Amino acid sequence: EAGVAQSPRYKIIEKRQSVAFWCNPISGHATLYWYQQILGQGPKLLIQFQNNGVVDDSQLPKDRFSAERLKGVDSTLKIQPAKLEDSAVYLCASSLPFLRDSTEAFFGQGTRLTVV
């Protein structure tokens, strides 16, 4: 079974530029998450999708961040314009949509963003 795919792995941009990250979840996983992880901290949820609908985007800075999930499969996360404090690892995760005891989350390798 293929895992969660993310690209790019690394990105360096100047502040005020824009950047986009891509995620392809595990086949059949209707739930997709984007997390931001700042160095030394735990991951913070930015947005959660169920198929192509948004379940929770309460912590997404909507003035600069946007996300979409195309046809309920792949997803892109965009930052425009970037700020220095956006430097972090951006993690994509997916899981089955059923809230059962055994439902597990699977993570991609992440995209490390550095804003200079």
Partner 1 sequence: KQEVTQIPAALSVPEGENLVLNCSFTDSAIYNLQWFRQDPGKGLTSLLLIQSSQREQTSGRLNASLDKSSGRSTLYIAASQPGDSATYLCAGRYNFNKFYFGSGTKLNVKP
Peptide bond into 8 cis (omega under 30): yes
Least distance to partner 1, CB of residue 80, Å: 24
Chain mean position to CA 12: 17
Least distance to partner 1, CB of residue 64, Å: 23
Q: Which residues bind partner 1 (CB under 8 A)?
A: 4, 6, 31, 33, 35, 40-45, 48, 50, 55-56, 89, 91, 93, 95, 97, 99-110, 112
Least distance to partner 1, CB of residue 19, Å: 17
C-beta of 5 vs 20, nearer to partner 1: 5
C-beta of 19 vs 93, nearer to partner 1: 93
Helix (H) or strand (E) holding 112: strand 111-115
Least distance to partner 1, CB of residue 31, Å: 5
Strands (E), 1-107: 5-7, 10-13, 19-24, 31-37, 44-50, 53-56, 65-69, 75-79, 88-95, 106-107
C-beta of 79 vs 110, nearer to partner 1: 110
C-beta of 32 vs 79, nearer to partner 1: 32
Q: How far apart are CA 15 and CA 82, in angstroms?
A: 5
